[in-house]
Amino acid sequence: MPQATGVKFQLHPTFLATSETVGDLRLCHVRIQADARWPWAVLIPRIAGAREFEDLSAADRAILMEEVVLAGAAVRAAGQALGQQVEKLNVGQLGNLTPQLHIHMVGRRIDDAAWPGPVWGVGVAEAYDPKTLSVAMAALREALRV
Amino acid sequence: MPQATGVKFQLHPTFLATSETVGDLRLCHVRIQADARWPWAVLIPRIAGAREFEDLSAADRAILMEEVVLAGAAVRAAGQALGQQVEKLNVGQLGNLTPQLHIHMVGRRIDDAAWPGPVWGVGVAEAYDPKTLSVAMAALREALRV
């Protein structure tokens, strides 16, 4: 069981190349995906060795669900700050490539680059310009209170 | 708030064309996706009007998270019954096309038809033959105790 290993949580290095730090909630480290096509947060429970929801305790899973809802509101707020009306949240826990439990929270619009399909693996990430990234980051941080 | 409307939950008709009834857990109606390429369950909280996690009460969200974990174990069991070793669970709440909250639980294998990408929107569903479907259904029902 991951909680019992005594191994300290370390962020998988893959996230460093694709996202930037937003802050830490009670359970999850939160990042913003470095892709200006969508307001997109990534939640990573700070539990060493976890790959699936079943690797968390039931108590941590309940916290995670509430952090998912909070992060959804934050993604909506980031979309609004960017002038993008989020019509639907997409929540995904896949982890086929990155072997560390993480949850994608993606704000979708009916005119976005992948609608109505999923965003994962679609096209190439568009880098944020620094000013736009700071607007999105500020909106996420305000909504998450981090 | 969906819980306050007094409107009775009704399954969105889209699910009838793409999946079959497995049974009901405390919160969710459970279906098997009619696609033999993956062991795949769909959880639909029986709450009228819900489209996002935020439309459920916190109490129902906690139940949902535990049903997600249970359904993940059931998908692994279905994979095993079908001779398919599930390497990773993929959990998705998208709902871009079907406007009723539902959670996909998909058992992934590194040799499957979409690995490592997501399954949604990939290729065309492969119909189960009746015997294989009954094997998968029985494994799901045993694991879910429905």
Provide ipTM, 2 decimals.
0.95
Q: How far is CA B66 from CA A28, A49, A57, B28, B71, in A?
A: 18, 20, 10, 11, 9
- A8 Cα to chain B: minimum distance (Å): 23
Q: What residues of chain A lie within 8 A of the CB of B101, using their CB? A: none
Residue A53 to residues A5, A109, B67, B123, B131, Cα–Cα distance (Å): 17, 28, 11, 28, 31
Q: Give the pLDDT band (50/70/90) at residue B3.
A: low
Q: Percent of chain B scored above 90 by pLDDT?
A: 95
CATH code given to domain B13-116+124-144: 3.30.428.10
How much is the pLDDT for A7? 86
What is the reported pLDDT for A83? 96
pLDDT, position A100: 98
Nearest by CB to A96, from B62, B95, B108: name it: B108
A49 Cβ under 8 Å from any chain B Cβ: no
* pLDDT for residue B106 is more than 50: yes
Tell me the mean pLDDT in the region B94-120: 97
- Nearest CA among A61, A81, A93 for reference residue A143: A81
Chain B window 1-40: which residues touch A at a Cβ cutoff of 8 Å?
none
Quote the pTM value: 0.95
Q: Nearest Cβ partner of B62 from A62, A88, A117?
A: A62
pLDDT at position B1 is 47
CB neighbours of residue B58 within 10 Å? 11
Residue among A136, A18, A61 nearest A144 (CA) = A136
Read off the pLDDT of residues B52-93 as tens digits, 9 standing for 90 and up.
999 999 999 999 999 999 999 999 999 999 999 999 999 999
The pLDDT assigned to B36 comes to 98
CB distance from B118 to chain A under 8 Å?
A: yes
CB spacing of B53 vs A61 below 8 angstroms: no
Q: Could you identify the residue written with the tokens 């819980």?
A: B3
Asked if the C-beta of B91 comes within 8 angstroms of chain A's C-beta atoms, the answer is: yes
Q: Which of B69, B106, B108 to mutate to test the interface with A (most CBs of A within 10 A)?
A: B69
Measured between CA atoms, the residue of chain A closest to residue B98 is A116
Task: Provide the mean pLDDT of chain B.
Answer: 96
What is residue B66's three-state secondary structure?
Answer: helix
In angstroms, the CA A115 to CA A85 distance is 14
Q: Cα–Cα distance between A124 and B128 in angstroms, integer?
A: 35
**Contact check, Cβ <8 Å, A69/B51:** no
Average pLDDT over residues B18-28: 98
Q: Which of B96, B104, B112 would you mutate first to test chain A, the one with the most A CBs within 10 A? A: B96
Please name the residue that has the structure tokens 């109505």: A116
Gyration radius from chain B CA atoms: 15
Residue B127: is its pLDDT beyond 50?
Answer: yes
Query: What's the mean pLDDT in B38-43?
Result: 98
| Nearest CA distance, A122 vs chain B (angstrom) | 9
Mean pLDDT of B17-21: 97
Q: In this predicted structure, what is the pLDDT of residue B104?
A: 98
Residue of B66, B72, B92 lying closest to A92 (CB–CB)? B92
How close, in Å, is residue A71 to chain B by CA atoms?
11
Residue B5 has pLDDT above 70, yes or no: no
Contact B90 A93 (CB under 8 A): yes
Element of type H or E holding A63: helix A58-81
pLDDT for position A1 = 47
Low-confidence ranges of chain A (pLDDT < 70): 1-6
Share of residues in chain B with pLDDT > 70 (%): 96
Task: Outline where chain B has alpha helix (H).
Answer: 14-18, 58-81, 130-144
B135 by Cβ neighbours in 10 Å (0-12 / 13-18 / 19+) ranks as: middle
pLDDT digit string (tens) for B6-15? Answer: 689 999 999 9
